[in-house]
Amino acid sequence: MHPHQSPEEEIDVSVADQIHSYLENSDPDGLMKLLEPLSFSDALREILHLAPEQCDRVLSMIPAEMAAEYIEEAPSELAADLLERLQANTAAGIIDELDSDVQADIIGELGEEDAAAILAEMDAEDAEDVRRLAAYDNDEAGGLMIAEAFTFHEADTVAEVLRRLASDEDDFERYRGQHPYILDTNEIPVGVVSLRGLLTARRSSRLTDIMVQPLTVSVDTSLDDLRDVFDKHPFLGVPVVESDGRLVGVVSRSAVDEAALERAEAESLKLQGVFGDELRSMPLPVRSRRRLAWLSANIGLNIIAASVISAYEETIAAVIAIAVFLPMVSDMSGCSGNQAVAVTMRELSLGLVKPVDAMWVWLKEISVGAINGTALGILIGGVAWIWKGNAYLGLVIGLALSLNTLIAVSIGGVVPLLLKRFGQDPAVASGPLLTTITDMAGFFLVLSLATAFMPLLV
């Protein structure tokens, strides 16, 4: 072992070397035995660190069920990238092992030609389910549900349900512990039966005798509304119906929780200028293009902010100390604004605020901004006074920071709500707007106040 190499790193290198050896020898059994003891995330990590052609060979050599477990571990965009490089029949075999909601997410990320080729290799009925699910938005019930539902009809008895449970354990596992839903002749859910009710009822009883009215949601029910449903009810899953009332799937509590977490993560990344499910295993041109678009836009915004400084060159030349504090004022105000943005984005995701609450949010933010702005202004003003021995310099810097903090928290708290109101993505636009305005306002406040107090500063 290298003196600076940890035991974990030595194990990782050994696994990588063995993968290369099994690939060179075309040994699928050895490869499978090597990967089986690893967790899904560790195995996926090892695979992604391979060259693209080696990665493709690993997924083609191991059993489809094992490959599906690794594919399911990856974000949908990455999973699609991995599968589209494989032969259509190989990719179809892997997708066939996934739940229908995951299948739809991946197919939705593929190009039309690749998606059509893979679907053509699948069972016709399964392929139709995937096409149907892929047509729904990812943040609605239709895009989050699974097509498989544990259903019976009104004429069925308790004994028939219990026999099915006992004889088809694998099939029951596909339903993720759903309660049995009872459908009428038009495939409309008319009742639901609890598993406890099944065990305590007489075997000859019809399901209609022990069922209760089911709670259903429409295919276009939003993620926020779904979260409200699961907050109010202790259900593990809720049946999803089309506009005509027909049952088309079941959305689970875990799927809703996972979608909410993914949305929060995506919004957090967007605030930093990272779009999509970027991973370092993705093609370099794709990653560079996505980041560069954001960075290029920010160049223009920074030029606007810098133009304020150029208008006060004489003031800066006369009081050089001002230049030292300019970035401090804009940066500290920006930090306060980012805190306000983060709180608003979180409350938006939780459904605790809506665009109509903008005034209420502003009053809350202006209150905390007044306190923090005053405290920070006194602190930085005191530093400026002590450093240069000029109380008026401290007053200029401290006052500018206090006022800019009020501006920053107002923007950070309210702008995401306004953007949401006009159908824009608040996670994308809030950051650049906040940065540009707080920089411009900070520079203007410092330099205009310094100009006004010029006789007292020199």
**Per the domain annotation, does 165 fall within a domain?**
yes
**Per the domain annotation, does 2 fall within a domain?**
no
Same domain, 298 and 435: yes
Same domain, 80 and 182: no
Residue with more model confidence, 305 or 213: 213
Contact 295, 431 (CB under 8 A): no
Domain boundary among 245, 271, 297: 271
As to burial, measured by CB atoms within 10 angstroms (0-12 exposed, 13-18 middle, 19+ buried), residue 403 is: buried
**Per the domain annotation, does 145 fall within a domain?**
no
Same domain, 414 and 296: yes
21-59 per-residue burial string, b: 16 or more CB within 10 A, e: under 16 = ebbeeeebebbeebbeeeeeeebbbbbbebeeeebbbbb
Q: What is the CATH number of the domain that holds 128?
A: 1.25.60.10
**Per-residue model confidence (pLDDT) at position 434:** 83
Same domain, 362 and 437: yes
**Per-residue model confidence (pLDDT) at position 5:** 43
Other C-beta atoms closer than 10 Å to the C-beta of 174 total 14
Same domain, 190 and 130: no
> pLDDT tens, 65-85?
999 999 988 888 888 989 999
Highest mean pLDDT among 112-121, 285-294, 315-324: 112-121
pTM: 0.59
Same domain, 306 and 453: yes
Same domain, 172 and 320: no
Residue with more model confidence, 383 or 4: 383
**Per the domain annotation, does 144 fall within a domain?**
no
Domain boundary among 224, 250, 271: 271
**Per-residue model confidence (pLDDT) at position 375:** 95
Q: What is the residue type of 227?
A: R
The alpha carbon of 253 is separated from its chain's Cα centroid by a whole number of angstroms, namely 17
Tokens of 441: 């306002």
* Closest C-alpha among 186, 305, 321 to residue 241: 186
User: pLDDT-based confidence at 12, cuts 50/70/90?
Assistant: very low
Sheet holding 217-218, edge to edge: 217-218, 237-241, 247-252
Give the residue ranges of DSSP H helices in 74-218: 76-84, 88-95, 100-109, 112-120, 124-134, 141-144, 158-167, 169-174, 195-200, 207-210
Contact 267, 191 (CB under 8 A): no
Same domain, 17 and 110: yes
- Structural domain boundaries enclosing 338: 284-457
**Per the domain annotation, does 82 fall within a domain?**
yes
> Which residue bears the tokens 């389910």?
129
Q: What is the CATH number of the domain that holds 171?
A: 3.10.580.10
Same domain, 298 and 326: yes
Q: Name the domain count of the chain.
A: 3
**Per the domain annotation, does 296 fall within a domain?**
yes
Q: What is the CATH number of the domain that holds 348?
A: 1.10.357.20
Same domain, 255 and 352: no
Same domain, 328 and 356: yes
Residue with more model confidence, 287 or 41: 41
Average pLDDT over residues 197-210: 86
**Per-residue model confidence (pLDDT) at position 86:** 93
* Closest C-alpha among 278, 279, 277, 273 to residue 292: 273
Same domain, 160 and 128: no
Domain boundary among 139, 164, 189: 139
**Per the domain annotation, does 329 fall within a domain?**
yes
> pLDDT tens, 31-58?
999 999 998 888 888 898 888 899 999 9
